[in-house]
Structure 1
Amino acid sequence: MSNVLDIRNLELGFKGYVGFTKVLHGISLSIAKGERVALVGESGSGKSVTARIILGLLQELRAARITGELHFNGQDLNHLSRRQWHALRGTDMSMIFQDPTSSLNPVFTVANQFAEVLRRREEKLTDSEARARASELLDSVHIPNPARVLDSYPFQLSGGMNQRVVIAMALANHPSLLIADEPGTALDVTVQAQTLKLMREMVESNDTAVLFISHNLGVVREFADRIYVIYRGNIVEEGPTEAVFANPGHAYTRALMSAVPRITGGGIPDIADTSDAFLDPLVSHSENKS
């Protein structure tokens, strides 16, 4: 399998009024076509800034100092102009953010926003063509009555419905790479489980590579093929998901696993030992409540 994304020795720092703060310390990772890779770590470990560098967002900040190799589908991202970065986002690479409601513009209907996304790939798409395509995509994420949703504003829809809309939009232009930054964290656990199952089905049908960013090891175990563990801007462990769970080599990885709440008694399986797609997201719920 050829790699969709290759990162080598990525470093990030920010120049402040006093001194220089280093955030990433030589990150290296790769994702093959159709592969689901998780980047796991606590808040502030460097997960989201890595994603934003891949999307070319932090390169626009004057205070940011970025070095290292970034290759996407064989293309050197370090030599792209701002216009070329803009052309990649929403077409060949796309992102799903934590809060689906805040990802959508509240003053435009879903149909209008879908049309804008689809025209990033096909500029001359008519309104009727865009609506027909959007309706098909909403149907593919199991949204009943797509016409009603298209005519709705995001605030008129539930969080789960908005998340399905966002997933459909992110995959609308058949990207090679999908970055999912804590998707479903803002949703209740049952909707989160449904969302992750749906996202897995969609990326498999499109053969899309995924960088899945999360702190939730239960969800990661269910979703990812491989795991990178990041701690204070360093990759401290990586490997196939089951191998890392079976024999974590780094103390930080073991600490993350020991922090996973366990539910026992009353016939409820231990979360750490079950692969049930419904039970694993309960870990996120417990962490959010704490």
Structure 2
Amino acid sequence: MIKPLRKAVLPVAGLGTRFLPATKAMAKEMLPVVDRPLIQYSIDEARAAGIEQFCLITGRGKTALVEYFDRAFELEATLKERNKPEAMQALKESSMLPGTMLSVRQQEPLGLGHAIWCARAFIGDDPFAILLPDDIVLSKTPCLKQLADAYQQTGGSVVAVTEVPHEQTNRYGILKVGQDDGTMVEITGLVEKPDPKDAPSNLSIIGRYVLTADVITHLSRLERGAGNEVQLTDAMAKMIGTGPFHGLRFEGRRFDCGDKIGFLEAQIAFALERPDLGPAVREFLKTYVDRL
């Protein structure tokens, strides 16, 4: 019997140095795309996939991420008194049910694998999702929902993958592939940030994963990999052959909001999708295009 997917881990302990000085006193994951912070896009996507329990892997100075999803009674009372139902609805969408979110402190910056290992008590023996808030995906069906459906179909671990320029394989976790039907790819190997001449393909993992709890066994060894960090990719590679493991070419467009250009592009793309903003955004974009 396939265990239901109900848990998600969100690693949010990074310093956000590429966005200084904005992130000097503000968590990178609180930077807004249009009118919602990055962290909320991930939470909303997870909820749409049936996730009910959330674990934030935080670091020093990241308490605002937990507080953001708490109820703001004084603000709610003020909005009610001023008869602002739309604002009240927006506020409601940023709150969590009691007992559904916890945070764990990653005390040392030892890599993504170490961050996931910090959530081992939360994960237990259950399958779980990982969402990296730096990545947001614009799609008809939420990206994690696509992965959750693939997990139900295969009964094993599934990661979201996309093609990257071959010369950039040294920036990503890269797949070695077996059977490939154009959508679902059998993973026969994983390499973290390979040199382009050694890369087994140009299929890269993005920040969406559904993994079985077996990965914790490998992470618990705390073995160092690329960058002298505990790499999640290395632990996943050791799971290959012990159960189904696939990459999913997801429907949608991914934006790397850990990069300034990707972040700016996401602002425009998501604004254009909004009925209340799209027409005005198209008009002002024409002004800038004419200046090129």
For normalisation by structure 2, the TM-score amounts to 0.28
For normalisation by structure 1, the TM-score amounts to 0.28
